[in-house]
Chains A and B, each alone.
Chain A
Amino acid sequence: MSFITAYCHLNENSCSVNGKIFLQKSLESTESWFKQLYKELGVDYPKFYKMDSLAQAGFLASELIKKIIPAISDTYKDDQIALLFANKESSADTDIRFLESYEEKKTPSPSLFVYTLPNIVLGEIAIRNKWYGENMFAVLPKFAPDFFVQYGTILLSTGSKAVLAGWLGILEGRVEVFVFLVEKESSTGIPFDNENVKKYAGF
């Protein structure tokens, strides 16, 4: 039996952790919503500013999960935390910008090109935390709780002790993010099954 021990939601103007509002977008601020959130988190990680929206979303959500369960990196060995993410749009948000860089600006941008793969966010989270575990990014037609439960359970039965999983819907200003932590052995949380993933996701 494994358990969902923390979760977080992020949309266009609000962010919540374990169902409680963490921050709402300030309309007075001149900074982007993700930058507001980064500052509120109080982490010092300048690489954040280089990331594309998909990577920023995954980074912010993973940092929020760590705020709830700070011991995560101490509890597990560096290769026991797997990353299992999915979305519908792949890296389209940055793909569109890279396309513009060579079609309109006539200069293909290498700094955009390196973000034109959806799994780059996994690399960013792995680098940030020095996690060497299993990685998987899947593109699915819609949010599918059974995919996360099936593959998450597989990862937990083949050596991983925890799975940071999530849906990262990012496209042209639309934000639909749900990230959750599953732990194999835990005294807290709710059972990791389709019903509970669906209930927590809320979409």
Chain B
Amino acid sequence: MIYIGAEEIVSPLGQNTEENFRAISENRSGISLVALAGFGNESVHLSKINFVSEQNKFEFLLIDTLSKTISSIDSCIVSSKKTIVVISSTKGDLDRNISNPFEESIAALVKQFHLVHEPVVVSNACISGVLAINAANNFIKAGLYDHAIVLGCDLISDFVLYGFQSLFAVSQAPCTPFDANRSGVTLGEGCAAVVLSNTKEIFENTPLQFLSGTSANDANHISGPSRTGEGLYRSVKKTLEQNHLAAEEIDFISAHGTATVFNDEMESIAFDRMKMNAIPLNSLKGYFGHTLGAAGVVETAVSMQMMRSNILIKSMGYSESGTSKPLNVITENTFSELNTLLKTASGFGGCNASLVIRKL
């Protein structure tokens, strides 16, 4: 059995998991209007970490988050030869070195924690986080490692913000996933971690069970979501089949929900094809913004907290259905026994990924 636990989050909402989960349980968002931040000095809503210096911020967040993560597992694990660190990120620290955006930060991480193996960086657009967790599970299942620490981190940079602005994909107001009035993404930054292991005893707090996950490509368009939800449908179907799960065994879905018109519509079609319309679902982008390569890890970590507390957290920004297929978007925090989670992600390049976690 593969276990997952020791979830850690650093975001504008807090410096650790507890602060972050308290904030979202109180339905507080990390998004605020940042004056003159955008291209042409446009003021833009962002979920930006202000308590960390901009200098080498990526490196700082990786080291800070990993330090906090390993304080709740057996202290020997991080520098064990049976441990791999998997990092998920789209752009790393591109302001530091655009030609090599990971090298310096990761070298510092390796040095600081005496990592035995060179970390693997998964850079697969917005599915990076979910894919990295799946890869971590695969590495352990294959017997290559006993433990894997997944660190997801991405920053807000002019580069990424101007890029999304050039695509007219940035929302004027804080993003509103799955809502009728949604009009694009709000960018966010954050760093999160989860630990996977074949040994339950390494965790200070009871871990959850990691079942497995898969990915699938839409084979449709590099920057436009599939109109049939093909890749997401295939990935979710494959993940459920691999784990001999029926759709109705899923207690809630942590969806991707970027709040662009086409992405959320695509997700609704894929979930409809899976007959998952009635399953409670949220997008956490209204709290954290879209943290890109970190999103899958941030949102998995939060979902694990939801499972531990048996609470469905409302999907921030949602008030009126805005997809052609009905979804059961969570509108109020609700106590509910949560045993099995489906986490999904989709991204540029037509990529989609999903994973399933179950309570022990």
A113, A116, A117: most-surrounded residue (chain B CB, <10 A): A117
Q: Which residue of B lies closest to A78 (CB)?
A: B219
Given contacts A110-B166, A113-B163, contact A134 B215 (CB under 8 A): yes
Please tell me which one of the listed residues A107, A108, A113, A129 contacts residue B219 in the complex, with CB atoms under 8 A apart: A129
Contact between B216 and A113, CB atoms less than 8 A apart: no
Report Cα–Cα, A116/B216, bound state, in Å.
21
Secondary structure call for the A interface: mixed
Which of B59-67, B136-144, B314-322, B324-332 lies at the interface with chain A?
B136-144
Q: Are B159's CB and A98's CB within 8 A?
A: yes
CA distance A107 to B90 in the complex (A): 22
Query: Do residues B219 and A131 form an inter-chain contact, with CB atoms below 8 A?
Result: yes
The complex places the Cα of A122 from the Cα of B123 at a distance, in Å, of 12
**A132 touching B351 by the CB < 8 A rule?**
no
**Shortest beta-carbon distance, B239 to chain A, in Å?**
11
* CB of B245 closer than 8 Å to a CB of A: no
Asked if A119 meets B121 with Cβ closer than 8 Å, knowing A126-B217, A132-B231, A154-B142, the reply is no
Contact partner, A114, options B102, B142, B231, B348, Cβ 8 Å? B348
Selected contact of B350 from candidates A116, A126, A136, CB within 8 Å: A126
Give the docked Cα–Cα distance between A153 and B143 (Å): 12
In the complex where A92-B100, A126-B350, A150-B139 touch, is A108 in contact with B220 (Cβ < 8 A)? no
Chain A residues whose C-beta falls within 8 Å of the C-beta of B103 in the assembled complex: 141
Nearest A residue to B158 via CB reads: A102
Cα-based distance from A86 to B9 in the complex (angstroms): 28
By the criterion of a CB under 8 Å from any partner CB, how many residues of chain B are at the interface? 54
A96 touches B163 (CB 8 A): no
Binding stretch for chain A, among B17-25, B91-99, B178-186, B299-307: B91-99
Cβ of B195 within 8 Å of any chain A Cβ, yes or no, is: no
B351–A119 touching, CB < 8 Å = yes
Instruction: Work out how many contacts link A and B, with CB atoms closer than 8 A.
Output: 160
Residues in B neighbouring A69, C-beta threshold 8 A? none
Inter-chain contact B39/A108, CB cutoff 8 Å: yes
Q: Which residue from chain A places its CB closest to the CB of B126 in the assembled complex?
A: A117
Are B166 and A108 within 8 A (Cβ)?
yes
B238 touches A122 (CB 8 A): no
User: In the complex, are the beta carbons of B39 and A136 less than 8 A apart?
Assistant: no
Option from A110, A121, A136, A144 in Cβ contact (under 8 Å) with B122: A136
Nearest CB of A to B107, in Å: 8
Chain A, interface residues (CB within 8 Å), range: 35 or more
Is A171 in contact with chain B by the CB < 8 A criterion? yes
A107–chain B nearest beta-carbon distance, Å: 8
Q: Quick check: is A147 within 8 A (CB to CB) of the other chain?
A: yes
Give B98-134 interface residues, CB cut-off 8 Å to A.
98-103, 106, 118, 120-125, 131
Is residue A127 within 8 Å, beta carbon to beta carbon, of the partner chain? Answer: yes
**In the complex, B162 has a CB within 8 A of chain A:** yes
- Please measure, in the bound complex, the distance between the C-alpha atom of A134 and the C-alpha atom of B350, giving whole angstroms: 11
Chain B residues positioned under 8 Å from A151 (CB to CB): 135, 138
Q: Which residues of A contact B223 (CB under 8 A)?
A: 114
In the complex, are the beta carbons of A122 and B215 less than 8 A apart? Answer: no
Cα separation A109 to B223 with both chains bound (whole Å): 14
**Cβ contact of B139, chosen from A92, A113, A137, A154, cutoff 8 A:** A154
Determine the distance from Cα of A109 to Cα of B90 in the docked complex, in whole angstroms. 19
Q: Is the CB of B124 within 8 A of A135?
A: yes
Cα A198 to Cα B123 with chains together (Å): 23
| Interface check B83, CB cutoff 8 A | no
A2 within 8 A of B: no
Could you tell me which B residues sit within 8 Å of A by CB distance?
39, 90-92, 94, 98-103, 106, 118, 120-125, 131, 135, 138-139, 141-142, 144, 158-159, 162-167, 214-223, 230-231, 234, 238, 242, 347-351
Chain A residues within 8 Å of B, Cβ to Cβ? 78-79, 83, 88-90, 92, 95-96, 98-99, 102, 107-110, 113-124, 126-127, 129-141, 144, 147, 150-151, 153-154, 157-159, 171
Pick 9 A–B contacts, CB within 8 A, sort by A: A116-B91, A132-B217, A135-B124, A135-B216, A135-B349, A136-B122, A137-B124, A138-B123, A154-B138
